[in-house]
Amino acid sequence: MRGEAVSVTPCGDDGVILRVRTEIPQPPLRAARFFMLRRDDRLSPAIPRPFSLYRQRGGDLEFLIKVMGQGTEALAKCTPGTALRVVGPLGNGWNTLDGDGPPWVMLAGGIGSAPFWMGIEQALAGMDGATPARRDQLVYVYGAARKGLLYDLEAFRTLGVRVETCTDDGSHGFKGHVLQLLEHLWSARALPREVRLLACGPERMLEAVEELARARNLPCWLSLETFMGCGVGICNGCPVTTVADGPMGAWPNAKCCVEGPVFSVEQVTLTH
Ligand SMILES: Cc1cc2nc3c(=O)[nH]c(=O)nc-3n(C[C@H](O)[C@H](O)[C@H](O)COP(=O)(O)OP(=O)(O)OC[C@H]3O[C@@H](n4cnc5c(N)ncnc54)[C@H](O)[C@@H]3O)c2cc1C
Ligand code: FES
């Protein structure tokens, strides 16, 4: 569908929040679903790029975008009224984040924070008739290389849940990465051992989260950011290895775009 940029707001050292108005207004969408975006001119590459939905605001969609290459740079240079091509909503999104079990620990690395803002909002509101989560049942653990790559941190703080931060260089919060911070919280008895994990971030981080979840037998879902071509299941450009004899059946790969981007570690593996 067609859309247009409403605003572009700088965010962190190398990011922007792009607000988009689509020609077809979108209903409330599940957090961690995504859209494929490109400008409708030659500044964008021909293949659109995938972005998690960050927020929905007054009928508009917001995306939190880290400038990486040509596609993201073109989007960051939009001005109000720039015409866009928008494909979506795509993918499955987080499961219903209910308040009936152990705390949800949300592990975000860098731009991997994008699917969590709405995830927290929806967990607090309750979805699909599930018990809403209490604020103290949600722990947002956010890490990045340095302070300037902790995108839109203050907006997360306004949600009123516990926010724990860390940076590799110690410029903000705990010095270390998100899993070191998690271990620190466990050893300090600042967090129960039994938690449900959600994670989004760089692949190396997600591999480590998967290993931790398997070693401690914790329920865990990952929102994956594989390379994508079509975003709709046609090009086979987004394979993810499935767990042998797991719930996804005998096929060795799942398609991240249509079967994900959220998978449980019972379904797929990044480490085998
Ligand atoms: C489901 C999904 C949701 C995503 N959500 C967001 C989001 O909310 N915000 C955001 O900023 N980005 C998100 N991404 C990643 C984003 O799509 C890529 O950063 C973007 O496609 C890069 O395009 P580019 O043309 O700017 O860079 P390119 O020129 O294509 O690449 C620049 C550099 O980035 C690397 N790169 C490109 N794509 C990826 C990727 N998927 N993972 C790791 N490295 C990559 C390339 O290897 C290269 O080194 C998401 C990806 C997926 C699959
Ligand atoms: S991106 Fe084309 S099949 Fe997934």
CA of 209 to the centre of ligand 1 (A): 20
For ligand 1, say whether the CB of 204 is within 6 Å of any of its atoms: no
The predicted pLDDT at position 58 comes to: 87
pTM, two decimals, is 0.95
The protein residue whose alpha carbon is closest to atom 27 in ligand 1 is 69
Percent of the chain with pLDDT over 70: 100
111, pLDDT greater than 90: yes
- What's the pLDDT tens digit per position in 66-108? 999 999 999 999 999 999 999 999 999 999 999 999 999 999 9
E strands, the chain, in order:
2-11, 15-22, 34-39, 49-52, 55-57, 60-66, 83-90, 104-109, 138-144, 162-167, 174-175, 196-200, 220-223, 239-241, 253-255, 262-264
pLDDT tens for 27-47 read: 999 999 999 999 999 999 999
Cα of 68 to ligand 1 centre, how many Å? 7
User: Residue range 110-138: average pLDDT?
Assistant: 95
Q: Is pLDDT above 90 for 255?
A: yes
pLDDT at 128 over 90: no
Lowest-confidence range among 21-25, 123-127, 246-250? 246-250
| Single-letter amino acid, residue 13 | D
